């Protein structure tokens, strides 16, 4: 479903920070219970291992990645983005992002961490409010227009 560009605006840095905080709580609510079931209270004691075992890898890395990709593809947003009325769309057409775009966007989260989170801060200075992960995937984050940011311009070029 393509969207009318005049009714949408790009979502800026601070709203996306709020959405990320909400998403962080969402991920914790989904990942901590199974981690506690597998590792018990000892899980929270400091350790020198990056990953303590297959269960931690599955619940801390694979599960969030799958959840985010599925939510972006099926609903266009994570719970945090839904809470602020935002969705992720293809930057050229305004339609739903492909599975490939969603996977690349998630991988781009790690790329955006480089240089002290510069890829995330890029949202604050980019004209289309795209972080590096958005640029890599060819996506933008939009919401119904509220008059506080620039209106969306989709490229329409093939």
Separation CA 81–CA 143 (nearest Å): 9
How many C-beta atoms surround the C-beta of residue 71 within 10 A?
19
Residue range 97-119, pLDDT digits in tens: 999 999 999 999 999 999 899 99
Which tokens go with 98?
Answer: 């492909």
Separation CA 132–CA 59 (nearest Å): 25
Residue range 41-88, pLDDT digits in tens: 877 776 777 788 898 899 999 999 999 999 999 999 999 999 999 999
* Domain range summary for the chain, segments of one domain joined by +: 5-42+52-144
Q: What is the pLDDT of residue 149?
A: 53
Q: What is the pLDDT of residue 158?
A: 46
Q: What is the pLDDT of residue 6?
A: 64
Q: What is the pLDDT of residue 52?
A: 80
Q: What is the pLDDT of residue 5?
A: 53
SS3 153: coil
Q: CB under 8 Å to 89, separation ≥6 — which residues?
A: 3, 76, 95, 96, 97, 139, 140, 141, 142
148 has a pLDDT exceeding 90 = no
């Amino acid at each position: 479903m393509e969207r009318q560009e005049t009714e949408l605006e790009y979502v800026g840095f601070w709203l996306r920070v709020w959405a990320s905080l909400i998403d962080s709580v969402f991920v914790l609510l989904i990942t901590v219970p199974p981690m506690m079931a597998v590792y018990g209270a000892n899980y929270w004691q400091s350790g020198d291992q990056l990953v303590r075992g297959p269960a931690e890898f599955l619940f801390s890395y694979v599960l969030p990645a799958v959840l985010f990709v599925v939510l972006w593809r099926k609903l266009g947003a994570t719970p945090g983005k839904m809470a602020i009325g935002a969705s992720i769309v293809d930057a050229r057409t305004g339609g739903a992002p492909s599975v490939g775009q969603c996977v690349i966007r998630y991988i781009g989260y790690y790329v955006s961490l480089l240089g002290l989170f510069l890829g995330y801060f890029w949202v604050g200075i980019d004209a289309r409010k795209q972080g590096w992960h958005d640029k890599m995937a060819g996506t933008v984050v939009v919401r119904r227009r509220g008059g506080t940011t620039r209106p969306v311009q989709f490229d329409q070029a093939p």
